[in-house]
């Protein structure tokens, strides 16, 4: 037996690992009041050089468990920073199974490929994006880039082979679209300067009239409109672009919906109407590891026409079989090594059912509205002018002593407050720059978060904020 096998230790190690995982899950059920610091002993261990000889696997697992417990875990119920992942338990087990078997979905991997296809079909049905195909990727950046490669091939056929020559292509998105859109333009050779940042309306959505004007201006100048990217839940405020109206403007221009964060809410009753027109998009992306609760990495790209993906990516290599004329995943994706990312979402739907997922989404939406209402009704808090469209709630606390303070003073206080909240350890919230001002930006994407956690968040912000000006 290979020295790389656990051999007779296998069952003992697996049992110990299961105990660690079980203890971790139980600890995630209730928020903790402090963030553990890395012990001096652990720091010393993590500074050691490359081991040359074997060591006890149980001891190694314990070191790893201690290190993870001292790390920032997005799965904790009061981690409200950025757009967190909540590490769904059945999804974690899905990763264990998938990585144990380790199939490569670049080519047909038998039933593993069927699981990915079924998971994509279920996801399309869940979101109301019909008659689509797709695949899973490592994240929203790769999903968006992949879709835009196909859009470039549609706008300028054979550009993958011949380049763009003297042609200039343009890409259109909201002024508050995710940076991955501009990065895609840079990677594709379109150029970041040819990304049109379209003005937003009072609800922070892309303005369709401004979009139409920008497209007309480019066409008059001989520039080819390549694609429009609508954002279904901006990272900054959770705004959902009006996809239906944008689709009217697009006509035959490729419409991609970047729903990495917000698209799961399309399946809910309370937020579903925000996503009217989704089915008109040529492609959509969604990060299941954000608001579908499964562990990272699990993004998905769904498209209406995989033929354009094949035109953009396929190669006839001697080592890639096409005995039956079938398209392999490697023919329509960027990646050649493709783990079974789909299994964790497949298991989530299979074990918990779609309605349970919808209920968890509705719970987060209600928690965002709850925090907004509490802050909006309190004289010492500020909120953005409109209620949250999704689960992001930008707010600021203004202690009495700062009631007449300038914006710059309030901004400085808010920045210090965010750092103080992190140091306090009871909640974790990130900052955001909105219209030149600094805000706290709690975001609810965790099925473990409770209404009590919302109340604690509100109270802790006030308490820590007041303590900053009173000390």
Q: Residues 154-191: pLDDT tens digits? A: 999 999 989 999 999 999 999 999 999 999 999 999 99
Give the pLDDT mean for 282-292: 98
pLDDT at 325 over 80: no
For the stretch 126-156, pLDDT in tens is 999 999 999 999 999 999 999 999 999 999 9
Q: What percent of the chain has pLDDT over 90?
A: 84
Query: Stretch 63-84: mean pLDDT, rounded?
Result: 93
Handedness of CA 158, 161, 165, 169 (dihedral sign): positive
Which pLDDT value is given to residue 109?
A: 86
**What b/e readout covers 321-350, taking b as 16+ CB neighbours within 10 angstroms?**
eeeeeebbbbbbbebeebbbbbbbbbbbbe
- What whole-number distance in Å separates Cα of residue 447 and Cα of residue 381? 26
* pLDDT tier, 386 (very low <50, low <70, confident <90, very high otherwise): confident
Q: How far apart are CA 296 and CA 341, in angstroms?
A: 9
pLDDT band at 321 (very low <50, low <70, confident <90, very high): low
**Which domains can be identified in the chain, with CATH numbers?**
94-352 (3.40.640.10), 355-470 (3.90.1150.170)
Q: How far apart are CA 340 and CA 314, in angstroms?
A: 21
Which distant-in-sequence residues (6+ apart) come within 8 Å of 208 by Cβ?
A: 242, 245, 246, 248, 249
Confidence of residue 230 (pLDDT cuts 50, 70, 90): very high
Of 461, 89, 35, 395, nearest in space to 453 by CA: 461
Half-sphere exposure of 123 (CA within 13 A, CB side): 34
Please indicate whether residue 8 or residue 222 has the higher confidence score (pLDDT): 222
User: Which pairs from 200-203 meet CB under 8 Å and 24+ separation?
Assistant: 200/174, 200/175, 200/176, 200/239, 202/385, 202/386, 203/239, 203/386, 203/389
Contact 200, 173 (CB under 8 A): no
Q: pLDDT digits over 265-280, tens only?
A: 999 999 999 999 999 9
- Residues 401-417 have a mean pLDDT of 95
Burial (CB < 10 A; 0-12, 13-18, 19+), residue 281, is buried
- Which tens digit of pLDDT belongs to each residue from 193-220? 999 999 999 999 999 999 999 999 999 9
Q: What average pLDDT does the segment 378-389 reach? A: 93
Let me know: does 294 contact 351? Beta carbons within 8 Å: no
pLDDT at residue 324, rounded to an integer: 55
* Rounded-to-integer distance, Cα 144 and Cα 136, Å: 12
> For position 36, what pLDDT does the model report?
85
Other Cβ atoms less than 10 A from the Cβ of 273: the count is: 10
Q: Which pLDDT belongs to residue 317?
A: 61
What integer pLDDT is reported at residue 323 of this predicted model?
56
Q: Determine if the peptide bond prior to 92 is cis (ω within 30°).
A: no
Which residue in 415, 365, 339, 353 sits closest to 109, CA to CA?
Answer: 339
Q: Read off the pLDDT of residues 50-64 as tens digits, 9 standing for 90 and up.
A: 999 999 999 999 999
pLDDT of 84 reads: 84
Q: Is 468 exposed, middle or buried (0-12, 13-18, 19+ CB in 10 A)?
A: middle
């Amino acid at each position: 037996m290979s020295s790389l096998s656990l051999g007779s230790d296998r069952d003992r190690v697996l049992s110990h690992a299961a105990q660690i995982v079980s203890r971790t899950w139980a600890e995630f059920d209730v928020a903790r009041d402090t963030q553990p610091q890395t012990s001096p002993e652990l720091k010393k261990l993590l500074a050691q050089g490359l081991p040359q000889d074997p060591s006890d696997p149980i001891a190694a697992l314990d070191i790893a468990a201690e290190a993870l417990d001292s790390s920032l875990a997005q799965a904790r119920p009061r981690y409200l920073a950025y757009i967190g992942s909540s590490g769904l338990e059945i999804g974690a087990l899905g990763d264990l199974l998938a990585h144990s078997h380790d199939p490569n979905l670049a080519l047909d991997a038998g039933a593993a490929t069927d699981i990915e296809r079924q998971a994509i079909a279920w996801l399309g049905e869940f979101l109301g994006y019909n008659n689509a195909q797709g695949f899973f990727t490592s994240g929203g950046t790769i999903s968006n880039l992949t879709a835009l490669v196909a859009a470039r091939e549609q706008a300028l056929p054979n550009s993958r082979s011949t380049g763009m020559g003297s042609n200039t292509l343009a890409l259109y998105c909201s002024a508050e679209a995710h940076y991955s859109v501009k990065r895609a333009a840079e990677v594709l050779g379109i150029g970041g300067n040819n990304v049109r940042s379209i003005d937003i309306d009072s609800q922070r959505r892309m303005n369709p009239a401004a979009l139409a004007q920008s497209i007309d201006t480019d066409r008059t100048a001989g520039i080819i409109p390549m694609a429009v990217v609508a954002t279904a839940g901006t990272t900054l405020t959770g705004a959902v672009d009006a996809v239906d109206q944008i689709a009217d403007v697009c006509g035959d221009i490729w419409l991609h919906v970047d729903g990495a964060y917000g698209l799961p809410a399309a399946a809910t009753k309370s937020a579903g109407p925000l996503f009217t027109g989704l089915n008109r998009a040529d492609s959509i992306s969604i990060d299941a590891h954000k608001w579908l609760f499964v562990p990272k990495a699990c993004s998905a790209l769904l498209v209406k026409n995989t033929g354009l993906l094949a035109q953009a990516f396929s190669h006839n290599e001697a080592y890639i079989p096409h005995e039956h004329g079938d398209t392999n995943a490697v023919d329509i994706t960027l990646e050649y090594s493709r783990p079974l990312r789909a299994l964790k979402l497949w298991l989530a739907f299979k074990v918990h059912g779609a309605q349970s997922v919808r209920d968890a989404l509705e719970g987060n939406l209600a928690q965002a509205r709850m925090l907004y209402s509490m802050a909006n009704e309190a004289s010492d808090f500020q909120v953005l002018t409109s209620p949250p469209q999704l689960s992001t709630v930008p707010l600021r606390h203004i202690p009495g002593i700062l009631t007449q303070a300038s914006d710059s003073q309030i901004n400085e206080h808010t920045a210090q407050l965010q750092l103080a909240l992190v140091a306090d350890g009871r909640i974790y919230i990130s900052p955001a720059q909105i219209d030149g001002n600094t805000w706290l930006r709690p975001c609810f994407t965790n099925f473990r978060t409770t209404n009590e956690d919302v109340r604690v968040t509100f109270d802790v912000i006030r308490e820590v904020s007041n303590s900053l000006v009173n000390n």
